[in-house]
């Protein structure tokens, strides 16, 4: 779950990371009053949306008087930034920035550990820096059992050219960011840019905090405005979340259902390997019942981009006969006319094959063979 910038900044401030003190408003009149209270000549008006790259998309405006604040608020409120409607803007003092840095904490899955990332070149083009100047991106991997130690922050700050008091400030912020990452069960904590002001202070000009969905039961303070927080998801992704199904839409035409995240990811990889394009990731779960599998099929049936459904089941707790009955019922009750390619292996496999064969549906035992067939069949639909 992604937090809005103003929510993340409050958490940053609570732990001692410097941020600009601003106000969140939802109307033009509120924006004008907030500007008067801030008593600042130059301010930034920032759309509060749950997508990245809003600066390039026109979601950040600068203003130096009440008329410009009014104009910025009118332009942003109610507009769309990358498909997400702007319901609120954050107004805060404009920083006198002499240098933009980057600092973030995330997971490095290849190393199976958290990683703290820093760069001497932050801002809107950080992705370009990572591609064109990879040496400008510095990393420190952290053993979760040991944690992020002060010397790690100092080494990281030194590696991007910081010295003296600025080095120590940066190292302190890095330690606090790691504490947030650990304490909030985050998948990402970052500030881009982390601004070095002309006064020699480091301030989080932007703040991002994304919490792992599976840990939200420990963070019930973020359960309010749940509908707003789902704005980044498609209609079907929202429906899947309500049903407890792990579903992510992609750009292809081959709908994929697996049982277990690892198997489903491997299925996507195989489809890509043989030249196909997955339409989605859908993990029906390692112990899906017949009814739960029906719900998963209903989601794919509503996706107009899906031309063919590839079902890949390695049954353990999940039973092949339950999956087979769900498929047969879906074709009737949901009017599901999309063609299927099915691979079944495991618990009650023979019974599952018998049920599907009675409905004229062929079943594969080999995952590789089934993936090839799915790509081939999808190209003819």
Q: What is the CATH number of the domain that holds 170?
A: 3.30.470.20
User: Based on the structure, what is the number of domains in the chain?
Assistant: 3
Q: Which of 84, 190, 237, 292 is catalytic?
A: 190
Would residue 13 count as lying in a domain?
A: no
pTM of this structure: 0.72
Q: How confident is the model at residue 228 (pLDDT cuts 50, 70, 90)?
A: low
Q: What per-residue confidence (pLDDT) applies to 191?
A: 96
Mean pLDDT along residues 18-32: 96
**Which two tokens mark 196?**
């070095």
Would residue 192 count as lying in a domain?
A: yes
Q: How confident is the model at residue 272 (pLDDT cuts 50, 70, 90)?
A: very high
Would residue 3 count as lying in a domain?
A: no
Examine the pLDDT at 227 and tell me if it is beyond 60: no
Mean pLDDT along residues 283-310: 88
Residue reference for tokens 């090839």: 372
**Which two tokens mark 129?**
């820096």
Do 240 and 290 fall within a single domain?
Answer: yes
Report the mean per-residue pLDDT for the chain: 91
Do 50 and 113 fall within a single domain?
Answer: no
Beta carbons within 8 Å of 358's beta carbon, 6+ residues apart = none
Would residue 6 count as lying in a domain?
A: no
Q: How far apart are CA 220 and CA 244, in angstroms?
A: 18
Would residue 199 count as lying in a domain?
A: yes
Q: What per-residue confidence (pLDDT) applies to 223?
A: 63
Q: What per-residue confidence (pLDDT) applies to 230?
A: 58
The domain boundary residue, chosen from 189, 222, 255? 222
Asked whether the beta carbons of 280 and 247 are under 8 A apart, the reply is yes
The domain boundary residue, chosen from 168, 188, 222? 222
Q: What per-residue confidence (pLDDT) applies to 131?
A: 75
Catalytic-residue membership of 190: yes
Mean pLDDT along residues 178-199: 95
Q: How confident is the model at residue 116 (pLDDT cuts 50, 70, 90)?
A: very high
**Which two tokens mark 91?**
């107004």
Mean pLDDT along residues 95-119: 95
The domain boundary residue, chosen from 41, 75, 93? 93
Cβ neighbours of 221 (radius 10 Å): 7
Q: Which of 102, 178, 247, 364 is catalytic?
A: 102
Domain of residue 211 covers 97-222
Do 124 and 190 fall within a single domain?
Answer: yes
- Could you tell me the CATH number of the domain that includes residue 41? 3.30.1490.20
Q: How far apart are CA 348 and CA 321, in angstroms?
A: 6
Q: What per-residue confidence (pLDDT) applies to 195?
A: 96
């Amino acid at each position: 779950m992604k937090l809005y910038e103003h929510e993340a900044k409050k958490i940053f401030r609570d732990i001692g990371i410097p941020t600009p003190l601003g106000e969140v408003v939802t109307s033009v009149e509120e924006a004008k009053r907030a500007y008067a209270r801030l008593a600042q000549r130059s301010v930034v008006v920032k759309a509060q949306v749950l997508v990245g790259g809003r600066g390039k998309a026109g979601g950040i405006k600068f203003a130096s008087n009440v008329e410009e604040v009014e104009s910025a608020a009118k332009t942003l409120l109610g507009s769309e930034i990358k498909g997400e409607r702007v319901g609120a803007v954050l107004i805060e003092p404009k920083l006198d920035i002499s240098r933009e840095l980057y600092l973030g904490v995330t997971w490095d899955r290849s190393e199976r550990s958290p990683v703290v990332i820093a760069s001497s070149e932050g801002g809107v083009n950080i992705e370009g820096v990572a591609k064109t100047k990879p040496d400008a991106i510095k990393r420190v991997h952290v053993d979760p059992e040991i944690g992020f130690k002060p010397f790690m922050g100092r080494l990281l700050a030194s590696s991007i050219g910081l010295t003296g008091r600025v080095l120590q400030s940066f190292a302190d912020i890095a330690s606090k960011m790691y504490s947030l990452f650990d304490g909030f069960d985050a998948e990402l904590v970052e500030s881009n840019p982390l601004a070095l002001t002309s006064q020699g202070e480091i301030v989080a000009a932007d703040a991002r905090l994304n919490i792992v969905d599976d840990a939200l039961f420990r963070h019930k303070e973020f359960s309010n405005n749940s509908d707003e927080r789902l704005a980044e998801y498609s209609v079907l992704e929202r429906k899947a979340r309500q049903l407890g199904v792990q579903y992510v839409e992609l750009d292809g035409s081959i709908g994929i259902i697996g049982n277990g995240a690892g198997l489903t990811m491997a299925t996507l990889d195989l489809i890509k390997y043989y030249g196909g394009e997955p339409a989605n990731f859908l993990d029906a779960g390692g112990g899906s019942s017949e009814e739960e599998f029906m719900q998963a099929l209903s989601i794919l049936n509503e996706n107009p981009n899906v031309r063919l459904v590839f079902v890949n089941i390695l049954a353990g707790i999940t039973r092949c006969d339950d999956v087979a009955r769900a498929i047969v019922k879906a074709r009737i009750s949901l009017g599901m006319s999309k063609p299927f390619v099915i691979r079944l292996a495991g618990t009650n496999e023979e019974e599952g094959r018998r049920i599907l064969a009675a409905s004229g549906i062929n079943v594969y035992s080999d995952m590789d063979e089934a993936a090839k067939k799915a790509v081939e069949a999808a190209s003819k639909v």
